[in-house]
């Protein structure tokens, strides 16, 4: 073989080898900053995937709703134009109705109860409903217990919330519950929220402490009430377009990485809850720590009649009974 021919063959072989080793870049999106709980969980997931696949898969992060609101991102994952989204369950019920049951207000006693449900048979059965809707749910992550903020007044009991125009997610289960408190629910995509609060289009919003912190809502809201009215789980969702190309071994890597990401996200939620309230107070928010939870639960009874019809009283009781 001539020297030139040999060089050309070697060059082609090198190029082919280099091309074969190019990693697949996965686009992952979420609503908050990269240093938020969503960013922490997503980063751990991505690091574990890269490590478990020897660098064959890597992630490109799109934080701060860079790829759109959560609903738009879920649609993109379903269509295959986006690879992954780490999303609250807020809009997920529009795609997988079985998820809606976990959005019922005052359903969960505390984090221990909520996490046992999500990690146990009930939560795992819900994850199994996703593939038939064109989405792969890798694991539960977490958003946290939701609390109310507003620019008008302290909220201690339901009457204090009456008449407040409160931004909510596009979630009928939430909105039905909030109406029993006298709130005027105003569905709005998260990327629009800060501006709406700033301009007074809405009086308030409700989100977990990690979100209130990372979104800097203290800049446009004076009052924070620790209502813990809804536990907000979250999900790491993958496009079937990606999933169906994975080997069985890689599928295991992705699922295990998602579980580790979820654990890291929960840990960050705990840290933000432990430290964040004092930070928000320092930044000028007036915090109501003692809320009349019994009065809120009493006000919610009419909504629970509707929830029992929609989801089945027995199914609600199964979640309540988890210890």
Residue 2: what pLDDT?
Answer: 55
Instruction: Give residue 170's pLDDT.
Output: 85
**What's residue 16's pLDDT?**
47
Does the residue 135 lie in any domain? yes
Backbone angles phi, psi at 284, to 5 degrees: 110, 0
Q: Tell me how far apart the alpha carbons of residues 69 and 64 are, in angstroms, rounded to a whole number.
A: 9
253-282 residue pLDDT tens? 999 999 999 999 999 999 999 999 999 999
The residue-averaged pLDDT of 232-242 equals 98
Q: Is the pLDDT of residue 192 over 60?
A: yes
The distance from CA 218 to its chain's CA centroid, rounded to whole angstroms, is 21
Within a domain: 169: yes
CA distance 120 to 318: 12
**Average pLDDT of span 75-79:** 98
Q: How confident is the model at residue 250 (pLDDT cuts 50, 70, 90)?
A: very high
Q: Residue 1: inside a domain, yes or no?
A: no
Asked if residue 5 belongs to a domain, the reply is no
Question: Is there a domain that residue 148 lies in?
Answer: yes
Whether 272 and 264 have beta carbons less than 8 Å apart is answered as no
- Average pLDDT on 19-23 reads 74
Domain that holds residue 310: 20-320
Tens-place pLDDT, residues 25-58: 999 999 999 999 999 999 999 999 999 999 999 9
Q: What share of the chain is helix, strand, coil (3-state, %, to 5)?
A: 55, 20, 30
- pLDDT mean over 302-323: 97
The whole-angstrom separation of Cα 45 and Cα 202 is 35
Furthest-apart CA atoms within the chain: distance in Å: 90
- Alpha-carbon span 124 to 147, nearest angstrom: 26
User: How crowded is residue 227: how many other Cβ atoms within 10 Å of its Cβ?
Assistant: 24
The beta-carbon contacts of 116-119 under 8 Å, at least 24 apart in sequence, are: 116/322, 116/323, 117/319, 117/322, 118/233
Residue in 8, 191, 181, 19 with CA at minimum distance from that of residue 91: 191
- pLDDT, residue 5, reads 55
Q: What's residue 21's pLDDT?
A: 75
Q: What is the mean pLDDT of residues 122-149?
A: 98
Residue 11 has pLDDT above 60, yes or no: no
Residue 236 lies in a domain: yes
> Residue 43 sits in a domain of what CATH number?
3.40.190.170
Residues 236 and 30 sit within 8 Å (Cβ to Cβ): no
pLDDT band with cut points at 50, 70 and 90 for residue 18 = very low
How far is it, in rounded angstroms, from Cα 185 to Cα 272?
26
For range 304-311, the mean pLDDT: 96
pLDDT over 90, % of the chain: 93
Q: Is the pLDDT of residue 3 over 70?
A: no
Q: Which residues contact 186 (CB under 8 A, 6 or more apart)?
A: 165, 166, 167, 168, 202
For residue 264, give both structure tokens: 């890291």
Q: Is residue 258 part of a domain?
A: yes
pLDDT at residue 308 is higher than 80: yes
- Does residue 9 lie within any of the structural domains? no
* Alpha-carbon torsion angle 235, 36, 65, 70, nearest 10: 20
Specify the number of domains making up the chain: 1
Q: Cα–Cα–Cα angle for 115, 120, 126, nearest 5°?
A: 95
């Amino acid at each position: 073989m001539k020297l030139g021919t040999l060089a050309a063959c070697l060059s082609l072989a090198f190029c082919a080898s280099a091309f074969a080793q190019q990693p697949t870049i996965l686009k992952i999106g979420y609503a908050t900053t990269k240093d938020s709980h969503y960013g922490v969980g997503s980063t751990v997931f991505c690091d574990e995937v890269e490590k478990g696949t020897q660098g064959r898969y890597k992630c490109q992060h799109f934080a701060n709703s860079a790829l759109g609101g959560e609903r738009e991102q879920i649609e993109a994952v379903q269509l295959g134009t986006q690879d992954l989204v780490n999303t609250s369950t807020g809009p997920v019920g529009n795609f997988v109705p079985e998820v809606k049951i976990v959005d019922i207000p005052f359903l969960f006693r505390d984090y221990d109860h909520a996490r046992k449900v999500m990690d146990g048979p009930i939560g795992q059965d819900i994850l199994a409903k996703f593939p038939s809707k064109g989405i792969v749910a890798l694991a539960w992550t977490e958003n946290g217990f939701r609390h109310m903020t507003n620019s008008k007044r302290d909220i201690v009991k339901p009457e204090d919330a009456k008449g407040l125009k409160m931004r909510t997610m596009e979630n009928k289960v939430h909105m039905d519950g909030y109406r029993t408190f006298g709130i005027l629910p105003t569905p709005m995509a998260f990327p629009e929220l800060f501006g709406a609060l700033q301009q007074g289009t809405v009086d308030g919003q409700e989100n977990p402490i990690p979100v209130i912190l990372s979104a800097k809502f203290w800049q446009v809201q004076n009052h924070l009430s620790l209502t813990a009215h809804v536990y907000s789980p979250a999900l790491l969702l993958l496009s079937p377009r990606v999933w169906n190309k994975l080997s069985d071994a890689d599928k295991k890597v992705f699922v295990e990485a998602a579980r580790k990401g979820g654990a890291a996200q929960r840990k960050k939620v705990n840290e933000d809850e432990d430290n964040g309230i004092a930070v928000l107070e320092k930044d000028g928010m007036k915090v109501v720590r003692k809320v009349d939870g019994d009065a809120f639960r009493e006000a919610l009874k009419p909504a629970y009649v509707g929830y029992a019809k929609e989801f089945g009283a027995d199914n609600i009781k199964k979640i309540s009974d988890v210890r």
